Structure 1
Amino acid sequence: MEGTQVLLVSAIIVTAFSAGLMSLELTTDPVELWSASNSRARQEKDFHDKHFGPFFRTNQLILTAPGRKGHIYDSLLFGSQNFSGLVSKDLVIELLQLQKRIQNIKFWSKDLNRTASLEDVCFAPLNPNNPAQFDCAVNSLPQYFQNSLDNINAKVNMTELGVTKEVDWRDHLIYCLNSPLSFKDITDLGMSCMADYGAPVFPFLAVGGYKGDDYTNAEAFILTFSLNNYPRTNIKFNVALQWEKEYLKIVQAYQRDPTANFTFAYMAEKSWYR
């Protein structure tokens, strides 16, 4: 009997102390977690969001290919250059294919009552009002080739100081990594270095794991999709969350694919919220 009474009293005490859980509200928004509502940082952020809109949303992959052997490329224009096992033509093409799969995401949006895509929520700095897919800010190494397989495969014989050699994607890439603002490289390929959305891709946005300016010896590719951010009351906020959910499905499926050559880490902006 005494044991029963102890259990009953314990249950009452536990229930009483647990009653507060009914009104528990979890905070998952990092803005709420990291800054007080009356802090100067919050006030400045609120001012920025009110007058310029919230800062864009970042969805990013960092891809590596450990164990692959690099090579030395004897460039007609740039001399001997180290290329890591990662910076190889087949992996650049595989990166482009993964990028295009993500860019081509489509899904039904209840909020828009139609099929939605990247263009509905992407950050498009040069055409924000009615962007096409190529207007969306996607930063990656294939952007030095305007995301064109033909440009990656392009090659031409070139003569410099009486020496004739073939120049290819490697010569273009060396030039663009060092001159990302150029609209035309100095090879006879004559290709642009600018991204297809009209802006430059600086090397620190495309590759990582290099020393100094030895970009072609990088150990990581960086692939970043920038989306517009919206007030929580805007229906497009839900559309952005849904796009990121579809993005995570593709990335996680690719990660499980035994034929994939990349090892990678990834993040989505929605990971901070849900």
Structure 2
Amino acid sequence: PTPEEKASCYVGSLTCWTFGIYISYSILLFGAIVYFHRFYNSQKFDREGFERVALTDDDEDTLLDPERSSRRYALNALLQDYFYQQGYICAKYPWQTIGVAALIVSFATLGCSKFEVETDPVRLWVAPNSDSAIQKEFFDQNFGPFYRTQQIFISSKNTSQSVVNYNNLKSLFIIEREIREIKSPHTLQDLCFHPNGDACIVQSVTGYWQSDLDNFSEETWRDEFISCTSAPTFCLPDFQQPLKPDMILGGFENDEYTNAKAFVLTYVLNNSLNKSETYASQEWEKSLREYLNKLIHNENSKVNTSQLDISFSTESSLEIELNKSTNTDIYTIALSYLVMFVYASFALGSFTSLPRIFIDSKFLLGISGIIIVLASVSTSVGIFSILGIKVTLIIAEVIPFLVLAVGVDNIFILNHEFERLTLKSFGEESVEERIAKTLGRMGPSILLSALSETIAFGLGGIVTMPAVRNFALYAALAVWVDFSLQVTVFVAFLSLDAKRQEENRIDCFPCVNIRAPGRIDKEGLLQKWMRKYYAPFILNKKVRIAVIVFFISAFMFALGLVPQIELGLDQRIALPSDSYLIDYFNDLDKYFRIGPPVYFVAKDLNVTTKEGQQTLCGRFST
């Protein structure tokens, strides 16, 4: 940040904002503790002489049973009635429900035929209607896009030593010669920017000797180097542009160029808005990357790079490396879905006896839950692909995990409530009735949860940054479709699975019927632990106060650190941890002293007239 943006008010090492937040919260917390302590003591005095009456087991069950709630709200009652009817219909006609949903999902998924991934960093992070994007578009249309830049940093592995010596400079000459000879089938000479004759713009320290090893002498190189870095205009390269030391050397101090820690090589290629015209440049850049990777691993017989560190970036490197990250994450996504499927299959089942393991397991139900999650993602992708909203790397990597987490939660909620009702009814109610009651009780909370998540993501759709906006839209639709399928299709699968269990049919082979003892419906260990131990503990008065204080304290602590949040997007964060570009960006920050160019473009101005020249140049134009 600029000096004007830095906080000027400090109390010790803390900013005034952080100090004020912490002091204010400490005072409020101390006051609250004193108040509640006095209030509790007064209440304790008022209760003296009264004896607590222990609840019977029946009373305890009544308090824990959601059916015996003493209050009933109009909205909740309306939603319960609606979901009761929906659950009954889906359970009574399961195959019809699954068939209709499959047709809708299949039709929406057809939109994936227009699936496109946006990988251009500019189009991802810059709003198309922002001033920067509009001005860049105008510049590109009138002057052409900025040149394709290839940059290489060469430094010594011993960071305390200067890279400027005879052997390293000689190796640099050889490296540049081999780069000029790269064919893809095009050469550097075919693709480079050469404004002055046929000489390519190559910004390198070898330009002081016109990039010709014959001009480089072991006896005189040091004096020539010192002379050229002091007066670059007397040592012009082939393309006749003075080479400032700041552009070709890095890691030096106080103009002591002989102590530089890095050579900086910059190749400038022509660029075009026509993608077909840039294909040749991309092919040459691919060959350049292959050559440089061999140098990094010291696999070049003509140059010994064992004592050199080399980092580089081509114009197409960033986009390629980001795509590489997405391709490797596919295996992670697949593995996470597999693990969640196995976990859900075991956790959804209730194994009451050894002979009923193959009946009470719920692998098919777990598969159906995972398929629903995948269907919601594919539906969202298909619909937005039809609308022309491209997928971004964030969408491909995050949304599958996001929808999986949300979807699996609701699956467990519905299954647990159904098991609870089955345990309570002792087989007196039909499967359809139990399914209807399950959805009637859990449906309103699942609806409100999904609605709040959808609205939260949907609000992100008003953000102008394309990467954030597209992610928010895809996530909002995927979450809502996931909810819709859970309260219809999963309910239908739950009904089919319950009927299969009652008829003693094997889980993964539902057509096979086996003899097995009757099911022993009893409360699971986890449910019993939650009811007898965790719930009483977390609802204890002192524990509740401690939990509230802890989370409020954590929030206030984080709020106090808000001024330390740094704005911006470091490109290294989005790259794979093993990407060669990370070394390049590290060297760029460490060694390169030149920032990006700035252009001032004047619209609707005729510079061939005196008035236009005076408008542009002010008093310097006569």
Both structures adopt the same fold (TM-score exceeding 0.5): yes
Equivalent-residue separation in structure 2 for 1:68 and 1:151 (angstroms): 29
AA paired with 1:30?
Answer: P
Equivalent-residue separation in structure 2 for 1:222 and 1:58 (angstroms): 13
What is the alpha-carbon root mean square deviation over aligned residues?
Answer: 2.7
Pairing partner for 1:181 from 230, 233, 242? 233
TM-score (norm 2): 0.33
Pairing partner for 1:90 from 163, 167, 172? 167
Asked whether the equivalents of residues 250 and 263 of structure 2 are also in contact (C-alpha less than 8 Å), the reply is: yes
**Aligned residue pair count:** 217
User: Is the partner of 1:264 in helix, strand or coil?
Assistant: strand
Look at both structures and tell me which one has the larger radius of gyration over its CA atoms.
2
Equivalent-residue separation in structure 1 for 2:168 and 2:218 (angstroms): 16
Answer yes or no: is 1:100 the counterpart of 2:152. Answer: no
User: Is the partner of 1:211 in helix, strand or coil?
Assistant: coil
Pairing partner for 1:55 from 135, 141, 146? 146
- Which residue number corresponds to residue 204 of structure 2? 140
Shift of 1:51: 1.6
Shift of 1:34: 2.8
AA paired with 1:126?
Answer: N
AA paired with 1:101?
Answer: E
- Which residue number corresponds to residue 43 of structure 1? 134
Structure 1 runs, 4 residues or longer, greater than 3 Å off: 15-24
| Counterparts in 2 of 1:24 and 1:213: CA distance versus 1, 3 Å | same
Equivalent-residue separation in structure 2 for 1:21 and 1:203 (angstroms): 52
Answer yes or no: is 1:236 the counterpart of 2:277. Answer: yes
AA paired with 1:196?
Answer: D
AA paired with 1:138?
Answer: V
Asked whether the equivalents of residues 210 and 217 of structure 1 are also in contact (C-alpha less than 8 Å), the reply is: yes
AA paired with 2:290?
Answer: K
Equivalent-residue separation in structure 1 for 2:246 and 2:190 (angstroms): 27
- Which residue number corresponds to residue 192 of structure 2? 122
Shift of 1:23: 4.7
Query: 1:10-58 CA deviation, whole Å, 9 max, x = no partner?
Result: xx89x95994765542211122123222211112111111221111011
- Which residue number corresponds to residue 295 of structure 2? 254
Shift of 1:254: 1.3
Equivalent-residue separation in structure 2 for 1:265 and 1:248 (angstroms): 10
Equivalent-residue separation in structure 2 for 1:122 and 1:66 (angstroms): 31
Equivalent-residue separation in structure 2 for 1:45 and 1:69 (angstroms): 42
Shift of 1:122: 0.6
AA paired with 1:174?
Answer: I
Equivalent-residue separation in structure 2 for 1:265 and 1:66 (angstroms): 12
Answer yes or no: is 1:150 the counterpart of 2:214. Answer: yes
Asked whether the equivalents of residues 166 and 218 of structure 2 are also in contact (C-alpha less than 8 Å), the reply is: no
Shift of 1:232: 3.0
Asked whether the equivalents of residues 103 and 118 of structure 1 are also in contact (C-alpha less than 8 Å), the reply is: yes
Equivalent-residue separation in structure 1 for 2:176 and 2:309 (angstroms): 15
- Which residue number corresponds to residue 268 of structure 1? 314
Shift of 1:272: 2.9
- Which residue number corresponds to residue 424 of structure 2? none
AA paired with 1:170?
Answer: R
Query: 1:104-123 CA deviation, whole Å, 9 max, x = no partner?
Result: 11123xxxxxxx21122111
User: Is the partner of 2:316 in helix, strand or coil?
Assistant: helix
Equivalent-residue separation in structure 1 for 2:122 and 2:115 (angstroms): 19
Aligned residues with identical type, % of pairs: 32
- Which residue number corresponds to residue 247 of structure 2? 205
TM-score (norm 1): 0.71
| Counterparts in 2 of 1:171 and 1:23: CA distance versus 1, 3 Å | same
AA paired with 1:268?
Answer: T
Asked whether the equivalents of residues 206 and 221 of structure 1 are also in contact (C-alpha less than 8 Å), the reply is: yes
AA paired with 1:148?
Answer: D
**Greater CA deviation, 257-266 or 243-252?**
257-266
Equivalent-residue separation in structure 2 for 1:35 and 1:236 (angstroms): 25
Shift of 1:100: 1.1
AA paired with 2:184?
Answer: F
Asked whether the equivalents of residues 121 and 236 of structure 1 are also in contact (C-alpha less than 8 Å), the reply is: no
Answer yes or no: is 1:67 the counterpart of 2:158. Answer: yes
**Greater CA deviation, 117-126 or 55-64?**
117-126
Pairing partner for 2:266 from 217, 220, 224? 224
Query: 1:72-98 CA deviation, whole Å, 9 max, x = no partner?
Result: xxxxxxxxxxxx2x1100100101111
Give ranges in structure 1 of 5+ residues lacking alignment: 71-83, 109-115, 156-167, 183-192
Asked whether the equivalents of residues 28 and 272 of structure 1 are also in contact (C-alpha less than 8 Å), the reply is: no
Shift of 1:125: 2.1
Equivalent-residue separation in structure 1 for 2:159 and 2:145 (angstroms): 41
Equivalent-residue separation in structure 1 for 2:153 and 2:290 (angstroms): 16
Give ranges in structure 2 of 5+ residues lacking alignment: 1-93, 321-622
Shift of 1:212: 2.2
AA paired with 1:136?
Answer: C
Asked whether the equivalents of residues 159 and 261 of structure 2 are also in contact (C-alpha less than 8 Å), the reply is: no
Query: 1:117-160 CA deviation, whole Å, 9 max, x = no partner?
Result: 11221111213xxx3xxx111111111111122221164xxxxx
